[in-house]
């Protein structure tokens, strides 16, 4: 993914990120996972923006609470979108794909549900950590979050390029770090 495409995508997600008080790393991680599923950075950034805007509304929080998913941490801060979606995946694992998609449609809107479903699928597939352990769901979201949040400068470029441009071989790639 070219730097200017990433910059444009981040700008398109800025309003939702500001409302949700989401970090740059959390937004980049969510967009990378959504981009992998749709191969369209515009759709990925739009979906992430819509999801973050929805998460800032009280009625959305109530829907998640009804589903048994916490969207805030112990300090009251909004959790990362991938971590929330990992928990949605766990909470809805015995539901049909149509039921999960309906939940996403009703919670975030139909225009973003498809890309958000792709994030959930990426988290279900999981990643392999440096010890060779397969991490799925919330553990995969945490692993990638730490990798993206801890990167700066050249390492940031490598982490975001790896995430946004080369997720096809996740297990091979993530086995390196």
Cβ proximity of 78 and 71 under 8 Å: yes
Residues 38, 26, 61, CA angle at the centre, nearest 5°? 90
Task: Write down the pTM of the prediction.
Answer: 0.76
pLDDT digits (tens, 9 = 90+) for 4-25: 666 677 777 777 878 888 877 7
Three-class DSSP category at 165: helix
Please list the pLDDT of the chain residue by residue as tens digits (177 residues). 455 666 677 777 777 878 888 877 788 788 778 877 665 778 888 888 899 999 988 888 888 998 899 999 999 888 989 999 999 989 988 899 889 889 999 999 888 888 888 888 888 888 888 888 998 888 888 888 877 766 554 454 454 444 444 334 333 333 344
C-alpha 38/C-alpha 161 separation (Å) is: 16
Residues 6+ apart with CB under 8 A from 9: 31, 41, 42, 44, 45
> Nearest 10 degrees: CA dihedral of 161, 115, 111, 39?
50
Identify the CA nearest to 160 among candidates 50, 54, 29. 29
Q: Which tokens go with 118?
A: 């792709």
């Amino acid at each position: 993914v070219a730097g200017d495409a990433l910059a444009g995508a981040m700008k398109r997600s800025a309003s939702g990120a500001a409302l949700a008080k989401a970090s740059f790393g959390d937004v980049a991680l969510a967009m990378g996972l959504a981009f992998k599923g749709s191969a369209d950075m515009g759709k990925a950034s739009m979906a992430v923006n819509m999801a973050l805007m929805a998460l800032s509304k009280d009625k959305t929080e109530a829907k998640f609470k009804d589903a048994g998913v916490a969207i805030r941490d112990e300090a009251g801060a909004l959790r990362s979108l991938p971590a929330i979606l990992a928990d949605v995946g766990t909470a809805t694992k015995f539901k049909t794909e149509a039921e999960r998609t309906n939940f996403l449609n009703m919670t975030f809107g139909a225009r973003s549900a498809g890309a958000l479903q792709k994030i959930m699928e990426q988290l279900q597939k999981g990643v392999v950590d440096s010890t060779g352990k397969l991490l799925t769901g919330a553990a995969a979201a945490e692993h990638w979050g730490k990798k993206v949040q801890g990167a700066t400068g050249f390492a940031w470029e490598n982490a975001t390029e790896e995430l946004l441009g080369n997720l096809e071989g996740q297990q091979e790639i993530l086995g390196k770090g």
